[in-house]
Chain A
Amino acid sequence: MRGALALIDFVRRAPGESDPWPDPHRTIRVVIRRRDTDDEVSDETLLSGIALGDNEATLLFVRRYQRRLFGLALGIVGDPGIAEDVAQEAFLRIFRHAAVYDVRRAAVSTWVLTITRNLAIDALRVRRATPVAPGDLVFVNLVSRDTPPEDVAANADEAARAWTALTSLPLDQRRCVVLAAVYGRTAAEIATSESIPLGTAKSRLRLGMIRLRDAVFEEMP
């Protein structure tokens, strides 16, 4: 257990399986395995280390996620200075709340990106009274073409499949979905910025999300 951080797995026993813990003790078995490289340390383990003030875990977590958090913040606010503020604040919140992260609710990546997205949207609303035109929004521009971003193409996994599903939507639905999902625009705001009736904005959003849901969940094993 010395040296590199260990990987911690929590294994919940199946009903009926032999249980070494007498009642009323809970049946969580902890297995700690040594790993040779830090890349194999799970996000959950890093968060646990961060919760206890482990500098190594903190640094590793920052290096693992800084490009994603900054990239998302930059994509939303469009200004590198504001994006840095947002990404830093997001990391600080993650550090503060690392001990209460609940592995059952969401993947770590989902959790940290949601924090970042919400902070970025708040920053955008506070600093800009008038919403930015969708044509100036990085992510909207990205999804307006059919080729995925470099990082997504390189991954060729779930992200690439989600990208394929997104780009299979008609362009108008694609834009509405991204404006809502990434930029937190309400249907009314989308209607205004896209110069379409409110009902049309709502309809595009709903149809786009349903088609994405079908595509994403059909692919799941």
Chain B
Amino acid sequence: MTNSNPECVEVSTVLSEFALGILTGRERSRVLAHVALCPQCRGELDALSAVGDRLVELAPRAEPPVGFESRLLDRYHGESARQPVRALRGVALVAAAVVLVAAGFTLGHHAPTQRPNTPSLSTAAPISEALTSAGRTLGQVWLSAGTPTWIYMSFDDAGWSGTAWCTVTLKNGHVLDVGVFNVVHGYGAWAAQVNAASSAVRSARVTDAKGHVLASATVST
């Protein structure tokens, strides 16, 4: 944490207050400016912030009033009805979740430090298409909104096991390799980033090592 640097010593006197979010005005600005350049004090700040988080977690639990859950869900569904989201079901929900969380995970690397409840990414619904073979649905494909897009695929009850290859074809005719993955007992799921906009993707397909097409999906948008 602090060393003999006079600025570090000065900042250390208010670092706890900063970590707990109760420092304001000029003092807060001074700490912010200092920790941006001082790794030692930034480390100390992280440790003190973690202590603050643990203290909040010590709050005793309490049973909410009867009807809390239904009142909450009524409010939530009322909001959702005003802001309709694309309907997704079953495996589709979890699959798309992977894309969204993965996108947040990666993009977050470059995001500036924010308070935990501050949104930073687009929440646009992913594009969803069925992965089919000879008219039979074998899985799902998801493309997250934006550039680059994230692709997620899932095989479910495909009746096939082995190493599969995934490619996407863009609307301009270019074919991009997405990756190689394993299908075990007819099931597999994977995700990867594709260097293209979701709107530029025309189709996706899965082949075996010999290039036989196991399943494909055409993006309708």
Contact = CB atoms under 8 A, between A and B. Distances in A.
A113 B57 contact: yes
A115 interface: yes
B136 interface: no
Contacts of A72: 56, 59
A217 B47 contact: yes
Given A1-B90, A209-B19, A52 B60 contact: no
Given A30-B191, A142-B60, A213 B48 contact: yes
Interface in B91-130: 91, 93-94, 96-98, 100-102, 104-106, 108, 111, 114-117, 119-121, 123, 125
B72 A88 contact: yes
Interface string B49-92: 01111111111111111001101110110011000011110110
B195 interface: yes
Interface string A90-128: 011101110111111110011101110110000000000
Contacts of B208: none
B21 interface: yes
Interface residues of A, number: 99
Given A70-B68, A100-B104, A159 B181 contact: no
13 contacts: A8-B94, A22-B177, A32-B94, A48-B97, A53-B80, A53-B85, A58-B73, A70-B63, A75-B60, A88-B72, A115-B117, A152-B60, A202-B13
Interface in B35-56: 47-48, 50-56
Given A25-B178, A102-B108, A104-B108, A91 B76 contact: yes
A66 B181 contact: no
A169 to B, nearest CB: 11
Contact of A52 (B71, B88, B195): B88
Given A21-B179, A180-B17, A105 B108 contact: yes
Nearest to B96: A52
Contacts of B111: 102
Interface residues of B, number: 83
Contacts of A80: 65
A15 interface: no
Given A1-B189, A205-B17, 17 more contacts: A25-B194, A26-B192, A28-B102, A53-B85, A58-B76, A67-B61, A71-B61, A84-B64, A100-B104, A100-B119, A102-B108, A102-B120, A110-B57, A113-B59, A115-B117, A187-B22, A209-B48
A62 B73 contact: yes
A105 B58 CA distance: 20
Contacts of A180: 16-17, 20, 22
A117 B115 CA distance: 13
B79 A92 contact: yes
B24 interface: yes
B154 interface: yes
A67 B60 CA distance: 9
B86 to A, nearest CB: 8
A97 B187 contact: no
A184 B17 CA distance: 10
A84 B73 CA distance: 13
A45 interface: yes
Interface in A132-154: 138-139, 142, 148-152
B65 A5 contact: no
Interface string B1-32: 00000000000111111011111100000000
